Amino acid sequence: MGRVTLKEIKRFGYTRPDIRNGYADQTLCINLSDSEIAIKPVADKMKEIFVGGKGFDLWLLWQAVNASTRWNDPENAICIASGPMGGTPVYPGSGKSIVTCISPTTGAVMDSNVGGHFGPYLKFSGFDAMEVQGKSKTPAVVFIDGVDGYIQVLEAEGLPDLAHDRAAVLTDYFANGAQKDISVVTTGPGARHTLIGCLNFSWYDQKRGRARLKQAGRGGVGTVFADKGIAALVVRWHPVKLSTNDPADAETLKQVAKLHSLEILDQDPKQNHMSSVGTAHLVTIMNDYDLLPVRNYRYGSHPDAPLMGEEVFLKLFDKGFDGCWIGCTLSCAHGVRDFVPVSGPCKGQKVFVDGPEYETIAGCGSNCGIFDPHHVVEMNYYCDTYGLDSISVGTSIAFAMECFETGLIDRTQTGGLDLSFGNKESALELLHRMARGEGFGRIVGQGVRRMKEIFAGSFAADPALLADIGMEAKGLEFSEYMSKESLAQQGGYGLALKGPQHDEAWLIFLDMVHNLLPTFDKKAESLHWFPLFRTWFGLCGLCKLPWNDVTPADNKETAEPAKVMKHVEWYARYYGAVTGKEAAPDDLIMMSERVYNFQRVFCLRMGFGRREHDAIPYRAMGPVTVDEYESRVERYDSQLKELHNVDIDGMGTKEKMALLRRLREQRYEQLKDAVYERRGWTADGIPTLATVKRLGIDFPEVIDVLKKHGVA
């Protein structure tokens, strides 16, 4: 590693405002093209409509871009915010940040949530949100010193390229001996060479003496960051106490926080074991329910899945506190100490790996036909340190593997790589080539949508088959759950605003396992309420995991166990205790509904956000190949006979497949109709004038977008 130099280009002093009831009441705007720094006030109306977090991000982004802005235009903005409850140290899961920008893979608005300390430290430093526009010609570090009240834009030389190293160096550089006061946002070389770059947000792990990383993974936010020439954003803040966020009613906050914290301590060891294995507990459960993606979502289970189950990761994970925010009793950000990669630039060195979580295990493991936990850990490490989204990497490699096995592409196109399912060495080598932007790696690094275009256009692959098996929607790769047998989850993926990410709606168990959503109306109601409540966490700087990954002991006796209403009520009290604005559970839904509909209109403004954009590939709905159908023939045959009253005697598999497809595609369209109606949208998926008026988001510019799309 060479000598690191940071040369000051711009210094901007400011007077840090006191936080009032969870808000700093101002945002930070930095333009890297000319190093301009400005502070914008937050009006009460902005808080009323957009709440904070993702809402603030979207409003800043809306003003920064126009309808023709593309991801790599200078005006595209990286917006980062926490939320009014973000930074509360006593309530579990209160340290989240949300990143938004125009995405390189979807062309529309992307949002990605992430742990780590950056968002809360940014707020305590005086800014509810920040936006970074423009482009720097040389690698730029932005340093926000909330302790001493100044901001610097610095020209960086000699910074290490890998994210772990860069975060460590910058943490030490700015710490002044107190590393816990620092949080760094950075990416890695993969973000420069692909469209699926992620951002790493750091938090300093005092016990282990290292900067740990959490990822804002989805939709290429890291690629936009790299394209702007940003080497890192760094914030410095201390102290963090309950009073730092100035809650309106500290006693109520302490009471409700204690209830939730104690419940987690009591119930998590009896339920999902988040505090010991995190989301890795899901692997064998998903496998048993035929929901774990295997071989590019062809199948939902594999006998070798337990090789990557929670018992294995319980042994691999380093023991100790793993909360990505101070005081979180769920503390699920586990990692592997002294892991030694067998490939790539860190081959043979001991490294600390943050993760893996379920998504990476399923995406880079089972979905690629690989069931080796050590391989998954290595893929996890390199995805993070290269600045690549491990979900998009997994889904993209799985797609390339199926294309290879099906003969749609061959070694002449893959640069000699044997991309058969299960080939660990090739998967790793492909990842390294993606990060370097080399050959076939550069193609895969553009994501599934562009791979389909390239395979069809340049390699003469069958476009219809590519469309069926390429697991993306809106340009975003699917996250790692099988949705074939859950129509509600197909909607959860297809009707999600940014693309098929489960953070909006995860309805598989409700729909498929518990059969609680038997009608279109019930599915539509769930595709209204759950996305809205999940959205609310992103407005407030909160993690959703404490809501429903641990539940009260008596939850099953409540009217709607899936909503975990006891926790929803606690969150309403929490919101009121911080902001001083009393709220009931329905008020939380209303807050989200405003922002959710605004985001849909924003997508429309960018040329998306209509019915046609809510399409999903058939692989997400049903069996594409004869092999898939026949592997679950009893299930599909019985559905045709019992659900659809079809006489299948004498029918061949292909005939049954065609019939099943027609029926399932019809049902998906019927689901869209039901959901659009429940959401107050037109049949084309656009919020109606009455809806935006009811929500109070009928600003002239919103009405203008609706009018341009025929809604008056």
Residue 318 buriedness (CB in 10 A; 0-12 / 13-18 / 19+): middle
Residue 459 interacts with another protein (CB under 8 A): yes or no = no
Rounded to an integer, what distance in angstroms lies between the CA atom of residue 432 and that of residue 639? 44
Question: Which of 65, 434, 448, 564 lies at the binding interface for another protein (CB under 8 A)?
Answer: 564
Residue 265 interacts with another protein (CB under 8 A): yes or no = no
In b/e form, how buried is each residue of 676-708, taking b as 16+ CB within 10 angstroms?
bebbbbbeebbbbbebbebbebeeeebbebbee
Q: Tell me the β-bridge partners of 37.
A: 30
Q: Which of 82, 79, 43, 86 is nearest to 61 (CA)?
A: 79
| CB-facing half-sphere around the CA of 318: CA atoms within 13 A | 20
Rounded to an integer, what distance in angstroms lies between the CA atom of residue 273 and that of residue 270? 7
Question: Which of 508, 517, 540, 705 lies at the binding interface for another protein (CB under 8 A)?
Answer: 508
CB of 472 to another protein, least distance (A): 19
Question: Which of 74, 139, 149, 561 lies at the binding interface for another protein (CB under 8 A)?
Answer: 561
Residue 560 interacts with another protein (CB under 8 A): yes or no = no
Residue 562 interacts with another protein (CB under 8 A): yes or no = yes
Question: Which of 3, 270, 315, 319 lies at the binding interface for another protein (CB under 8 A)?
Answer: 270
CA dihedral (286, 288, 290, 294) in degrees, to 10, reads: 70
CB of 319 to another protein, least distance (A): 15
* 89, 240 contact by CB (below 8 A): yes
> Which window, 249-257, 315-323, 440-448, 543-551, contacts another protein (CB under 8 A)?
543-551
CB atoms within 10 A of CB 13: 9
Question: Which of 212, 298, 502, 656 lies at the binding interface for another protein (CB under 8 A)?
Answer: 502
Residue 331 interacts with another protein (CB under 8 A): yes or no = no
Rounded to an integer, what distance in angstroms lies between the CA atom of residue 465 and that of residue 407? 12
Q: Measured from the CB atom, is 200 or 279 closer to another protein? A: 279
> Which window, 72-80, 220-228, 392-400, 509-517, contacts another protein (CB under 8 A)?
509-517
Residue 272 interacts with another protein (CB under 8 A): yes or no = yes
> Which window, 97-105, 176-184, 284-292, 620-628, contacts another protein (CB under 8 A)?
284-292
Residue 143 interacts with another protein (CB under 8 A): yes or no = no
Site for another protein in 163-182 (CB under 8 A): none
Q: Measured from the CB atom, is 137 or 270 closer to another protein? A: 270
Site for another protein in 346-405 (CB under 8 A): 357-359
Q: Measured from the CB atom, is 322 or 357 closer to another protein? A: 357
- In this structure, the strands spanning 140-145 and 230-236 are parallel
The DSSP H or E segment spanning 34 is none
> Which window, 178-186, 502-510, 571-579, 609-617, contacts another protein (CB under 8 A)?
502-510
Q: Measured from the CB atom, is 514 or 693 closer to another protein? A: 514
Question: Which of 7, 347, 514, 708 lies at the binding interface for another protein (CB under 8 A)?
Answer: 514
Which residues are within 8 A (CB) of 173 and not within 5 positions of it... i.e. 6 or more apart? 4, 6
Q: Write out 679-692 in H/E/C secondary structure.
A: HCECCCCCECHHHH
Residue 69 interacts with another protein (CB under 8 A): yes or no = no
Helices (H), ranges, 387-540: 390-406, 411-414, 424-436, 439-444, 448-459, 463-469, 487-494, 508, 520-540
Q: Measured from the CB atom, is 46 or 328 closer to another protein? A: 328
Rounded to an integer, what distance in angstroms lies between the CA atom of residue 235 and that of residue 505? 32
Q: Measured from the CB atom, is 137 or 556 closer to another protein? A: 556
# residues contacting another protein (CB under 8 A): 32
> Which window, 93-101, 185-193, 505-513, 646-654, contacts another protein (CB under 8 A)?
505-513
Q: Measured from the CB atom, is 160 or 552 closer to another protein? A: 552
**Alpha-carbon Rg of the chain, whole angstroms?**
24
Place of tokens 């939730």: 260
Residue 98 interacts with another protein (CB under 8 A): yes or no = no
Site for another protein in 621-640 (CB under 8 A): none
Q: Tell me the β-bridge partners of 232.
A: 141
Q: How far is CA 275 from CA 154, 212, 547, 548, 688, in A?
A: 39, 17, 14, 14, 44
Residue 315 interacts with another protein (CB under 8 A): yes or no = no
- In this structure, the strands spanning 129-133 and 140-145 are unpaired
Site for another protein in 8-27 (CB under 8 A): none
Q: How far is CA 152 from CA 79, 224, 419, 511, 700, in A?
A: 18, 21, 46, 51, 37
Question: Which of 117, 123, 281, 567 lies at the binding interface for another protein (CB under 8 A)?
Answer: 281
Question: Which of 174, 371, 381, 481 lies at the binding interface for another protein (CB under 8 A)?
Answer: 481
> Which window, 113-121, 205-213, 561-569, 594-602, contacts another protein (CB under 8 A)?
561-569
Residue 117 interacts with another protein (CB under 8 A): yes or no = no
CB of 509 to another protein, least distance (A): 5
Question: Which of 8, 34, 48, 288 lies at the binding interface for another protein (CB under 8 A)?
Answer: 288
The DSSP H or E segment spanning 8 is strand 5-13
> Which window, 63-71, 219-227, 281-289, 682-690, contacts another protein (CB under 8 A)?
281-289
Q: Measured from the CB atom, is 288 or 655 closer to another protein? A: 288
Residue 145 interacts with another protein (CB under 8 A): yes or no = no
The DSSP H or E segment spanning 30 is strand 26-31
Binding site for another protein (CB under 8 A): 270-273, 279, 281-282, 284-285, 288-289, 310-311, 357-359, 479, 481, 502, 506, 508-509, 513-514, 548-549, 551, 555-556, 561-562, 564
